[in-house]
C-alpha cells in the first residue's frame, strides 16, 4: 500500500475502522449530474452522507480528509484489463495490476479471460476471485471466455460461469468468425441475461496488419489494418443482435464508420453498447513515428479525424465507456522490429490523466469523461457502484485536475513498463483512491 501521510496533520488514513469525512471537495457525480462543493461522510466503508452541508464541518470523531477544493468522484470502472495471472505472472499479476489501478483511480477492474489457461471453467473464475480477494487492492471482476479455449467454435458454460461470478463473456482479443456460432452464443446468453463482449476485427481482412491502413503505414512500409475490418464485424454483430436480442458490447471501436453502426443500433433500441480505448482517444497513428512499438496496439491508432470522431462519440454518449486496454508486455516482446513486436500498452495508471487532456483542450467536459468511466460501465455490468449515493460502497477518488507531471515509467506500479505515455507531460492526476472507504493510494505534490 502506497498510502503516506500528507503534511497536513489533520489528514488521516481514511481507514475503515471509524467514520471518516472528505470535506472541502468538488463532488462530481456523473450518474446524477451533480457538480457542487460539499463533503462526504464514510461509515463502515459505505457512503453514509454527502452534500453541501458537509463541506466545512464533519461529525465529531470522524477522521477528516481535507480535499482542498479538488474533485471527488466515484472510483473508475475499467472494463478492459489484461493481467498475466494466471500464466504470465512475469508480465503482471492481479496484485500489481491492482496497485496500478489504485494509482490510476480505478477501483473496479474487469479482467479479460485470455490468460493461460483461458478462463473458461468455473474453477478458474473461482481462482481469479480468490486471488483477487487475497492480493488485490481494488475490486476485480472476472470475465469468462465466450467459447471454449477462445477457439470461437464451442460455447462455454455461460450459465455455470455466470453463477460462479463471471460478470461478462468475451472471446478475448479474437473475434468469433463463424456467424452461426456467434448467433447461438447471443441466443443462449440472452437466457441468462449474460453480457457478450466482442472484439470486433475480421481476422481475414486484418490479416498480418500491424497499424492503421493508410499513407502513414505505406510510408513506413508496414501492412495496414483497414477500419472496414472492424466495421464489417460490427455490422454483422448488430444484425445478429437484431435477430437474437442478446445483450452485446463491442469492446473497443476505433473509427467513425463503426460509430455510425452503433448510433443506428441505438436508435433502433437494440441492446448494443460499445467502448473505446484511451489510446484511440488520446493518440493517433502519427505518434508511432519511427517505429515506436509501445504505440502498437489493438485496435490500431487511427488518423486524427478518427480520433476526433471517437472523442465526439464519447461526448454525445454514443460511445458508452472508456477503457484503459491495459495490456502489460515485457521488454523482450516489445523491443523487436515493429511487425514482430507484441500488441498492447499498459494504461491503468495513465488513463484518467491522459483523458484529462481532452478536458483541458475543451474536447470533453469532465462530466462526459467521468460518465464513461463510472456510471455507464456500472450500468452495463449491473453494478451498484460507479456513483455517489448513500449506502453504496465508498469507492472514491480525489483528483487534482491541474497539477502537471511527467510520466516516469520506472515509477509506475505496473510490473511491465510498456506505456504509450512514456515521458509524456500530462496535467492532473489521482491524489487519493479509496476502496470500500479505505485509502489504497495516495499521492501528493
Partner 1 sequence: MSKRTHSTAQYPHRHLLSIEGLTAGELTLLLDLAEKAAAQSREIMKKTDTLRGRTQVNLFFEASTRTQSSFELAGKRLGADVMNMSVSASSVNKGETLLDTAVTLNAMRPDILVVRHSEAGAVELLSQKVDCSVINAGDGSHQHPTQALLDALTIRRNKGKIETLIVTICGDILHSRVARSNIMTLNALGAQVRVVAPSTLLPPGVEDLGVEVFTSMAEGLKDADVVMMLRLQRERMSGAFVPSTREYFRFFGLDHDKLAHARPDALIMHPGPMNRGVEIDSAVADDERSVIREQVEMGVAVRMAVLEALARHLPNS
Q: Answer yes or no whether residue 117 interacts with partner 1 by CB under 8 A.
A: no
| 135 vs 187 by CB, closer to partner 1 | 187
If we measure between CA atoms, which residue out of 247, 294, 291, 235 comes closest to residue 273?
247
Ramachandran region, residue 138 (left: φ > 0; alpha: ψ -120 to 50; beta: rest):
beta
Beta strands in 228-379 (DSSP E): 248-250, 272-277, 321-323
Instruction: Assess 153 for contact with partner 1 (CB under 8 A).
Output: yes
Q: Does 187 bind partner 1 (CB under 8 A)?
A: yes
Residue 240 in grid coordinates: 445478429
Q: Is 184 in the site for partner 1 (CB under 8 A)?
A: yes
Q: Is the dihedral of CA 288, 291, 297, 301 positive or negative?
A: positive
Q: Which is nearer to partner 1, 65 or 181 (CB)?
A: 181
Separation between Cα atoms, residue 235 and residue 241, nearest integer Å:
10
- Residues 144-173: b if buried by 16+ CB within 10 A, e if exposed: bbbbeebebeebbbbeebbebebbbbbbbb
Closest CB to partner 1 among 124 and 311?
A: 124
Determine the interface stretch with partner 1 among 103-111, 187-195, 225-233, 253-261 (rule: CB under 8 A): 187-195
> Which residue among 12, 34, 117, 148 contacts partner 1 (CB under 8 A)?
148
**Among 198, 317, 323, 201, which Cα is nearest to 259's?**
317
In total, the chain counts a number of residues equal to 445
Per DSSP, what are the bridge partners of residue 346?
419
Please pick, from the candidates 8, 36, 44, 191, the single residue that binds partner 1 as defined by CB under 8 A. Answer: 191
Q: Could you tell me which of 2, 39, 66, 29 has the C-alpha nearest to residue 439?
A: 2
- Is 158 one of the binding residues for partner 1 (CB under 8 A)? yes
**Is residue 171 a contact point for partner 1 (CB under 8 A)?**
no
- What does the alpha-carbon distance between residue 123 and residue 434 come to, in Å, rounded to a whole number? 30
Total residues interacting with partner 1, rule: CB under 8 A:
17
The answer to whether residue 154 forms part of the interface with partner 1 (CB under 8 A) is yes
| 340 touches partner 1 by CB under 8 A | no
In 3D space, the residue among 136, 165, 167, 162 whose CA is nearest the CA of residue 436 turns out to be 136
Q: Which is nearer to partner 1, 12 or 117 (CB)?
A: 117
Closest distance between partner 1 and the C-beta of residue 192, in Å? 8
Question: Rounded to the nearest whole angstrom, what is the least distance from the CB of residue 3 to partner 1 in the complex?
Answer: 44
The answer to whether residues 90 and 47 touch, using CB atoms and an 8 Å cutoff, is no
Task: State the minimum distance, in angstroms, from the CB of residue 305 to partner 1.
Answer: 41
Pick the binder of partner 1 from 73, 82, 155, 166 (CB under 8 A). 155
Query: Which residue in 442, 328, 345, 380 sits closest to 78, CA to CA?
Result: 380
- Per CB under 8 A, the segment of 179-187, 311-319, 345-353, 381-389 that binds partner 1 is 179-187
Q: Is 242 in the site for partner 1 (CB under 8 A)?
A: no
Smallest separation, CB 195 to partner 1 (Å): 16
Our finding on whether 190 is near partner 1 (CB under 8 A) is: yes
Residue pair 221/278 in contact (Cβ under 8 Å)? The answer is: no
Q: Which of 20, 96, 147, 277 binds partner 1 (CB under 8 A)?
A: 147
- 126 near partner 1, judged by CB under 8 A: no
Question: H/E/C letters for each residue in 114-140?
Answer: CCCCCCCCHHHHHHHHHHHHHHCCCEE
Is position 157 an interface residue for partner 1 (rule: CB under 8 A)? yes
- What residues line the site for partner 1 (CB under 8 A)? 147-148, 153-160, 181, 184, 187-188, 190-191, 244
Amino acid at each position: 500500500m502506497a498510502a503516506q501521510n500528507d503534511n497536513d496533520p489533520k489528514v488521516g488514513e481514511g481507514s475503515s475502522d471509524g467514520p471518516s469525512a472528505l470535506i472541502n471537495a468538488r463532488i462530481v457525480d456523473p450518474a446524477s449530474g451533480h457538480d457542487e462543493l460539499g463533503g462526504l461522510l464514510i461509515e463502515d466503508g459505505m457512503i453514509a452522507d454527502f452534500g453541501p452541508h458537509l463541506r466545512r464541518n464533519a461529525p465529531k470523531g470522524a477522521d477528516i480528509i481535507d480535499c482542498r477544493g479538488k474533485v471527488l468522484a466515484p472510483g473508475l470502472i475499467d472494463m478492459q484489463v489484461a493481467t498475466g495471472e494466471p500464466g504470465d505472472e512475469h508480465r503482471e499479476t492481479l496484485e500489481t495490476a491492482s496497485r496500478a489501478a489504485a494509482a490510476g483511480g480505478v477501483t473496479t477492474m474487469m479482467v479479460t479471460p485470455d490468460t493461460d489457461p483461458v478462463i473458461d471453467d468455473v474453477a478458474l473464475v473461482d481462482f481469479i476471485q480468490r486471488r483477487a480477494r487475497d492480493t488485490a487492492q481494488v475490486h476485480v471482476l472476472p470475465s469468462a471466455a465466450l467459447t471454449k479455449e477462445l477457439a470461437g467454435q464451442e460455447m462455454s458454460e455461460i450459465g455455470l460461469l455466470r453463477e460462479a461470478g463471471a460478470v461478462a463473456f468475451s472471446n478475448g482479443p479474437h473475434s468469433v468468425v463463424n456467424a452461426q456460432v456467434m448467433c447461438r452464443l447471443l441466443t443462449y446468453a440472452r437466457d441468462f441475461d449474460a453480457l457478450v463482449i466482442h472484439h470486433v476485427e475480421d481476422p481475414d481482412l486484418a490479416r498480418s496488419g500491424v497499424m492503421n491502413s493508410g499513407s502513414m503505414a505505406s510510408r513506413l512500409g508496414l501492412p495496414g489494418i483497414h477500419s472496414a475490418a472492424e466495421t464489417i464485424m460490427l455490422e454483422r454483430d448488430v444484425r445478429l443482435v437484431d435477430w437474437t436480442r442478446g445483450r452485446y458490447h463491442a469492446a473497443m471501436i476505433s473509427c467513425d464508420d463503426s460509430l455510425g453502426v452503433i448510433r443506428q443500433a441505438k436508435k433502433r433500441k437494440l441492446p448494443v453498447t460499445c467502448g473505446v480505448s484511451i489510446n484511440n482517444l488520446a493518440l493517433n497513428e502519427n505518434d508511432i513515428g519511427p517505429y515506436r512499438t509501445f504505440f502498437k496496439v489493438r485496435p490500431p491508432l487511427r488518423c486524427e479525424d478518427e480520433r476526433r470522431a471517437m472523442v465526439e462519440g464519447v461526448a454525445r454518449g454514443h460511445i458508452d465507456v472508456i477503457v484503459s486496454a491495459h495490456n502489460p508486455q515485457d521488454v523482450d516482446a516489445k523491443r523487436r522490429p515493429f511487425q514482430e513486436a507484441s500488441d498492447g500498452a499498459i494504461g491503468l495508471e495513465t488513463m484518467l490523466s491522459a483523458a484529462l487532456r481532452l478536458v483541458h483542450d475543451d474536447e470533453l467536459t469532465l462530466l462526459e469523461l467521468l460518465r464513461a468511466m463510472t456510471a455507464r460501465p456500472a450500468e452495463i455490468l449491473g453494478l451498484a457502484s460507479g456513483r455517489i449515493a448513500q449506502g453504496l460502497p465508498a469507492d472514491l477518488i480525489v483528483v487534482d485536475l491541474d497539477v502537471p507531471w511527467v510520466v516516469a515509467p520506472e515509477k509506475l506500479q505496473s510490473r511491465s513498463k510498456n506505456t504509450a505515455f512514456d515521458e509524456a507531460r500530462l496535467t492532473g492526476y489521482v491524489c487519493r483512491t479509496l476502496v470500500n472507504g479505505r485509502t489504497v493510494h495516495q499521492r501528493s505534490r
